Amino acid sequence: MAAVLRVLLAVMGGLAWATASTAQGYPNKPVRVVVGFPAGGPTDVIARLVAQKLSDSLGHQFFVENIGGAGGNTAAGQVARATPDGYTIMVISTGFVVNPSLYAKVPYDPIKDFTPVTLVAVSPNVVVVNPQVPAKTLPDLVQLIRDNPGKYSFAGPGVGSTPHLGGELFRLAFKLDLVHVPFTGAAPAIQATIGGHTPIAFTALPPALSAVQSGQLRALGVASAERAAGMPDVPTFAEQGIKDQEADTLTGIVAPTGTPKEIVDLLYREIAKAVTQPDVKERLAGLGFKAVANTPDQFGARIKLEIEKWSKVVSDAKLRIE
């Protein structure tokens, strides 16, 4: 029995040494940074920004690989099955936590298959209207829709997107007769609202910012705990008496479950340092995002919170993608 115990202790010690050794020499080859969407969108831009900073600080290339399909599900499924050695990581958006309840089947489990690294940045959703809509505040908008059943619709960038779910949350909270009109992205949703085809839009902040600043759209509220830097005069939902309506677009980093803690912690520390740099903060602000860079544990808690929140909205709104 004592001999068996010594063997087990030796094996455990060897594994611990191997893990420490792996982390200490990390990285010693290029690291793949997977994005589940085509190049050019906010998730991809932030991924490339982070990848460049990690390449500079850690001395080996972090390269972005775009794997589109099924709202990010295809990429997440591949990364979930990747070797958990730190050489494949993934930049995720809110769809990562929404899709398991929205799609009939997804090839990953956001909790079991992944280790959180950090929430890099967040961007709030906003409610905007065509200037011809008489509402000047969110309570005005609620009353306007109630007074005109069947008349109003809202544009959103696709079924299951955070803006769409934010719109559904708003509709459910006030029991409104408000129809969602899905578009293939934020840009056509914004253009439809500018043109008056859909009088209201729920959208992420970045694609709406220039239209609001130019007066083509009127912003009624920001769905975050604090006002957005790009729209400092636009009050939050809570400031207008509308509680529990926060809807952020998240951009974070995860790794396959089993990735050594030392590597996860190293990546977190380097990303946290990177987002404090003035050029990174300026670039994020230009995209409509605010830097966060919280700890792996904090990000893990946020992921669980978001799953619980949005799965209820998906269920209550009876949304499903087969």
- Count of Cβ atoms closer than 10 Å to residue 113 Cβ: 18
pLDDT at 176 (0 to 100): 97
Longest Cα–Cα distance of the chain, Å, equals 82
pLDDT at 23 (0 to 100): 65
Two tokens, residue 293: 């860079």
pLDDT at 22 (0 to 100): 52
pLDDT at 42 (0 to 100): 87
144-153: long-range pairs with CB below 8 Å, 24+: 145/174, 145/176, 145/177, 145/178, 146/174, 146/176, 146/177, 149/177, 150/177, 152/177, 152/178, 152/179, 152/199, 152/200, 153/178, 153/179, 153/180, 153/181, 153/198, 153/199, 153/200
DSSP string, 210-268: HHHHTTSSEEEEEESSS--TT-TTSPBTGGGT--S---EEEEEEEEETT--HHHHHHHH
Q: Name the DSSP class of 150.
A: T
Distance, CA of 20 to CA of 211 (rounded, Å): 51
Distance, CA of 53 to CA of 258 (rounded, Å): 24
Q: How many CA atoms lie within 13 A of 29 on its CB side?
A: 6
CB 153 within 8 A of CB 201: no
pLDDT at 1 (0 to 100): 47
pLDDT at 104 (0 to 100): 93
Distance, CA of 87 to CA of 213 (rounded, Å): 42
27: cis peptide before it, omega within 30°?
Answer: yes
Written as tens digits, the pLDDT of the chain (322 aa) is: 455 445 444 444 444 444 444 567 999 999 999 999 989 888 999 999 999 999 999 999 999 999 999 989 999 999 999 999 999 999 999 999 999 999 999 999 999 999 999 999 999 999 999 999 999 999 999 999 999 999 999 999 989 999 999 999 999 999 999 999 999 888 999 999 999 999 999 999 988 999 999 999 999 999 999 998 888 999 999 999 999 999 999 999 999 999 999 999 999 999 999 999 999 999 998 888 999 999 999 999 999 999 999 999 999 999 999 8
Domains and CATH numbers, the chain: 26-122+249-316 (3.40.190.150), 124-240 (3.40.190.10)
